[in-house]
Structure 1
């Protein structure tokens, strides 16, 4: 479901109507390990990114793997920026990512990242998120994103 560009494809039917499905022009990137995500913005500087969890996301204790949750957080920041209208910044880079694990995630339930853009400067964006599952906190995160270079 890719049109050759990175970003969201609006959905009008089914469970995810009103959201956009993340689209990546490459079918063989690390994003395939994370899975399909869904994005929407509910207010300026705020967005949500949702992900359906699957068995490949678990650790040997049958909980969501911490490394997977961190990878989802990194991905969710860029999806959220797209949903907020900062489309060019999906080509930015993560400068700093901090994770705080608050609970154990489960396979099968949707992860929901609520993302806030805290501050934007000429070259940087500062964000935070809370990841929940069935209304319970799983992790919190903060990140600094370096904006994509502007073509000259």
Structure 2
């Protein structure tokens, strides 16, 4: 699976959630940090990350580029949680973001991810980013599935 590691967390606040990371935890994944996912239903998953100072902009709110990067990450973490690990080697073709408000550093960032449609070569998804029950951004993505 190209270094992707998934496992069910057995204890602590994330018990029962799926942890999604990489064998070689460096580069961008090091900045994003670990994420946790769980299935909501057959086409939807919930992905959460803890935010920190590395995710801040100069205004001490969550950086818009970080939000876009986390959105991209959350789509693939959701696919892994939904049992579609065969798709985590796919490639992002298009990602759009709509920002509604500033995110707070130090609060968990949550993504509710939904698979909209799947074709032979493409996958279409959307998500909403939330903090403390408030929507701060939304996104859509087109993923080209990996070659078999």
Return the TM-score normalized by structure 1: 0.93
Residue in structure 2 matched with residue 8 of structure 1 by the alignment: 6
Residue in structure 1 matched with residue 93 of structure 2 by the alignment: 95
CA distance in 1, matches of 2:106, 2:14: 16
Q: Map Cα deviations across residues 64-115 of structure 1 (whole Å, 9 max, x no partner).
A: 0000000000000000011111111110000000000011100110000000
Q: Tell me the CA shift for residue 27 of structure 1.
A: 2.3
Kept after mapping to 2: 8 A contact 1:9/1:23: no
CA distance in 2, matches of 1:69, 1:88: 25
Q: Tell me the CA shift for residue 23 of structure 1.
A: 2.3
Structure 1 gap ranges (5+): none
CA distance in 2, matches of 1:13, 1:5: 24
Residue in structure 2 matched with residue 57 of structure 1 by the alignment: 55
Q: Tell me the CA shift for residue 7 of structure 1.
A: 3.7
Kept after mapping to 1: 8 A contact 2:97/2:139: yes
Equivalent position SS for 2:16: coil
Kept after mapping to 1: 8 A contact 2:3/2:24: no
Task: Point out 4+ residue stretches in structure 1 off by more than 2 angstroms.
Answer: none
Cα RMSD of the aligned pairs, angstroms, is: 1.1
CA distance in 2, matches of 1:57, 1:136: 19
Return the TM-score normalized by structure 2: 0.96
Kept after mapping to 2: 8 A contact 1:128/1:142: yes
Kept after mapping to 1: 8 A contact 2:36/2:49: yes
Structure 2 gap ranges (5+): none
Equivalent position SS for 2:79: helix
What count of residue pairs does the alignment treat as equivalent?
Answer: 147
Kept after mapping to 2: 8 A contact 1:76/1:113: yes
The residue correspondences of 1:1-152 to structure 2 (distance < 5 A) are 5-150=3-148
Kept after mapping to 2: 8 A contact 1:100/1:141: yes
